[in-house]
Amino acid sequence: MKCKTKFLNEEESIVKIESALLNGARKYFIENGFTEIVVPHITHATGACENVNTLFEVDYFGKNKYLVQTGQLYLESFVPKLDKVFCIGPSFRAEKDVDNRHLTEFTLVEIELQCNLNELIGHIEKTFMSMVQEALKHEDIIKNLGGSVEKLKNLKIPFERITYSDAIKELNNINIKVNWGDDLKSKHEKTLCELYGNKPFFITHYPEKIKFFNMKTNKKDSKIVNSTDFILPNAGECVGAAEREYEYKKIFKKLKNSTMLKRLESLGGEINDFEWYLNNIRKNGQVPHAGCGFGLNRITQYIIDATDIRKTTGFPLNKKTLY
């Protein structure tokens, strides 16, 4: 049943869409046996994503700790016994840019479960479609905010997939110079969206050196990891996902040699920041698993066709705003 909500201003309308998208995600998770985990929001570097340079430092009783960027490693600790788990919470990034693509706090929806990359992509597609269906219960609000209801109704899964290597070739074929091993920027994602008909699609199998330390190395090609980004027209990457390494020795070696750890050490951190995570793997054992994080604001941006991410939440935070 579609809801008709009258007399809502822009902020109130956005909050309704955010709520609907979260309801859609939770609906899929609950119907498919996921357990919600409450993760810490003040952490060691175990709460960091690839770019540790955007960690917010906090004084935690005289010690330097950080505001969480991801609950991934905390979710992973519950996978061996609970299998399908998820968390929903804030992700803090010390982004200095004040523009239409960056926020210093946004909502991240994360899952971890016993599956491979192909199965994980299926969960991403179905979670996303559940979110879209809940948002479509507010067609009038979507239209008032400038979104296309028809576009959303015409979405069908499975979405197209291309490899990172093919993406590089496609860009070079149209004289956009990108080297293999470079991280794809928002302008590259935008161009690829245009090449693929302005529809959602996946880019898979990124180079290991530009991804999170515990992504699983591909068996056939050790230079790449079993990973994917879900790309939305106008919004860009909204989901980062991968299979995880789960053997202690492999994870320790990857962490020790990672660019992430080198960056962390330059900021005064050390490998011991990951002691809790590493000890948990050693003591409790692990199972083959994979996971991802959905950036709520990027999905909201796609739903309402917003060109500015600051239009996707009731309280947009950046370097110049605080409530």
pLDDT tens for each residue of 112-146: 999 999 999 999 999 999 999 999 999 999 999 99
Tell me, what's the pLDDT at 24?
Answer: 98
Which of 240, 209, 4 is CA-nearest to residue 108? 240
Query: Is residue 113 a contact partner of residue 123, using CB atoms and an 8 Å limit?
Result: yes
What proportion of the chain, given as a percentage, has pLDDT over 90? 89
The chain-wide mean pLDDT, for the chain, equals 94
> Between 263 and 192, whose confidence is greater?
192
> Between 283 and 31, whose confidence is greater?
31
pTM, entire model: 0.95
Query: Is residue 120 a contact partner of residue 229, using CB atoms and an 8 Å limit?
Result: no
- What is the b/e burial string over 129-149, where b = at least 16 CB atoms within 10 angstroms of the residue's CB? bbbbbbbbebbebbeebebeb
State which fold the 10-311 domain adopts.
BirA Bifunctional Protein; domain 2 (3.30.930)
Can you tell me the distance from the alpha carbon of 86 to that of 113, in angstroms, rounded to the nearest whole number?
9
> Between 107 and 284, whose confidence is greater?
107
> Between 280 and 232, whose confidence is greater?
232
Can you tell me the distance from the alpha carbon of 232 to that of 61, in angstroms, rounded to the nearest whole number?
42
**pLDDT per residue as tens digits for the range 9-38:** 999 999 999 999 999 999 999 999 999 999
Residue 284 has pLDDT above 90, yes or no: no
Tell me, what's the pLDDT at 135?
Answer: 98
Tell me, what's the pLDDT at 88?
Answer: 98
* DSSP, residue by residue, 164-210: HHHHHHHHHHTT----TTPPPPHHHHHHHHHHTTT--EEEE--BGGG
Confidence category of residue 283, pLDDT binned at 50, 70, 90:
confident
